[in-house]
Amino acid sequence: MLTAFIKPNAKMDQYGKVAGLSAIELPVWLMLFAQSVPGSVVVDMEAEGLDHAGLVARLGSLKAGRAVVLATGSHPSAHVQQAEAAQAVRRVVGEALGITTEIHDRLPFDPLKAGQLDLARVPMVKYRAHNWHGWGRDDLAYGATFASISCPFHCDFCCVKDFYGSGYRQRDPGAVVEDVRALVENGVTNIKMMDELFAIDNPGVHAVCDGLAASGLADRLNIWAYARIDTVTPVLLKKMRAAGIRWLAYGIESGNEAIRAGAAKGAFTNARVRDVVAMTKAAGIHVVGNFMFGFWEDDSVTMRQTLDLAKELACEYANFYCVTAYPGSRFYDEMKARGVDLPAAGAEYAQMSPRFKPVPSAKLSGRDILAFRDAAFMEYFTDAQYLAMMARSFGDGTVAGIRAMTKIKIRG
């Protein structure tokens, strides 16, 4: 009996009008899970552009007798967003083909024991990098690997440990390098390091960087990874750049130091944020700044502080999010205890979805926070100084792309 491992296609529901700017990401966890079942097939509905009718036809042609959905994406919070889409797959497949479908919304295996990625299982030509990841490059072919699972930190708004079911553990560095080599052999040099926190100063990360630097691949690579302000050093940044890491995404979150510390994000100061961003740029690595509006203590003044800090830092890209209460996080428990009306459907957790349901702070409504976030995005990406910097760094073509991006209205 053939088993089909399915990634649902909820792209339009979750991203709406900005779907074309987002990545189509390699389903690494689904692929590794499928490799545990000999003869199984991976059906990536998003990459293959399948709707429910297309899925039924595909499973029928495969003569599949069992279906498995791993309701997640490359980030653990996606399992909340994918739950609705997974249930729809189960209903459609059951009604049309009588196939039993298993749904897993937590990681049901140990990725550190799963071996190398078998890229032949998926249509590699279909995967596409985020728009910003490809700035200044000729192609958007995209892949991913990982060097660790879970995270050594405990941020209030995060649900990663709920998904992984374990603490922070690192993978064999040689396996990471071999995954990257296989991606390059498949024509992919834009790569995401999926770790919740890759850029941390420890022997395992240094070994991965040293291995990539020695592989002869680094000059071709365009890797991005997650980092923290309090986990990088000048030596590590230099090693990462030599390994082909060209983008680091920092969770800066708030421009108000008291709010940042209260979210258990870290006691680092705004001065330290400035120093680390400058240090990262000096190492030849572009910066993605991740900022959040709508912490419980936020008001219009503190949110403005966050936007002002973002503009001062002049990150090459910035993500602006509304704080979201993901099930499995401490913040979710706190908001539930306060009686806040929380999201229920998957797309209500998706930041770019027209159905996104923002939660309030103590002083602002969810809609007020969402309006501020959308206005912050426009102010940041239309700023004349920012656009001049991007023209110097990436060229006029990238600036034209940014201008086009700001013409898209998520709502209305």
The C-alpha atoms of residue 55 and residue 380 are separated, in whole angstroms, by: 40
- pLDDT for the residue numbered 330: 83
Give me the amino acid identity at 222: N
Task: Please choose, from the candidates 18, 253, 241, 27, the residue with its C-alpha nearest in 3D space to the C-alpha of residue 130.
Answer: 18
**pLDDT at site 155:** 65
- What SS3 class is residue 238? helix
pLDDT in tens, 174-233: 999 999 999 999 999 999 999 999 999 999 999 999 999 999 999 999 999 999 999 999
Q: Which residues of the chain have pLDDT under 70?
A: 12-14, 73-80, 155-159, 161, 264-266, 411-412
Residues 6+ apart with CB under 8 A from 175: 115, 116
- Give the predicted TM-score (pTM) of the model: 0.93
Element (H, E) at 240: helix 234-242
Q: What structural domains does the chain harbor?
A: 2-104 (3.40.50), 124-323+359-405 (3.20.20.70)
Position 359 scores a pLDDT of 92
Angle at 398 between CA 252 and CA 12, to 5 degrees: 70
End-to-end CA distance of the chain: 47
Q: How far apart are CA 199 and CA 207, in angstroms?
A: 12
Whole-angstrom distance, CA of residue 144 vs CA of residue 363 = 40
pLDDT score at 10: 77
